[in-house]
Amino acid sequence: MLVATALLATLAVVAAQDPCGPTSKPPVSSTTTAPPTSTTAPPPTGGVALHPNGQNGWCIDIAGANYANGTPVQLYQCNGTGAQKFAIQRGDGKFQVAGTNFCVDAGVNPGNGSKLHLWQCYQGLPQQQWYWTNDNRIALTGQGLCLDLPSGSLSNGNQLQVWQCATGNTNQVWSN
């Protein structure tokens, strides 16, 4: 009994020293449960600006040029900064801030109205897999949800969302 008590006390001390245990892994899911973490990466270079439905004075933008997990992806008047430059190509792939390892992310289990955030890019993560269609929609691959400008509002800080893809919905048309 004395040996069992000593063993339990030793295990309690070890657990208190390393609450995560030796087999813990970093999260790879894009949720807002983890606090935002900033990167010290230089400002992005290259890439393209994306505009809502031919409105070339407005751009998809990273709020405050803050390249960090959880930063809102919004609409903002075009200003030519790296916060408005994206690496994206027609077809299937990532929707990434040019020159960084941050992607546009729709969160776990996205649905109508899910707000878009920036998140570290992870290969094959469904909420980061986008398809830029020939009719100028940017859709989450295989999910029937498109990048959407809420209420069609051209205003600084309007946080972008996903919404069910619909033919004729001009809030889902993007150009570069």
Give the pLDDT confidence of 134-154 residue by residue, as tens digits.
899 999 999 999 999 999 999
| Its pTM surpasses 0.95 | no
Is 84:49 a contact under the CB 8 Å cutoff? yes
Judge whether 158 and 75 are in contact, CB under 8 Å: yes
Enumerate domains of the chain plus CATH numbers: 51-175 (2.80.10.50)
Residue of 13 and 79 predicted with greater confidence: 79
pLDDT, tens digit, 9 for 90 and up, residues 28-38: 333 433 444 44
Contact, 91 vs 54, CB < 8 A?
no
Mark residue 21 as left, alpha or beta (left: phi above 0; alpha: psi -120 to 50; beta: remaining). Answer: left
- pLDDT per position as a tens digit, 100-133: 999 999 999 999 999 999 999 999 999 999 999 9
pLDDT at residue 92 in the model: 83
Look at strands 117-120 and 158-159 and give their pairing: unpaired
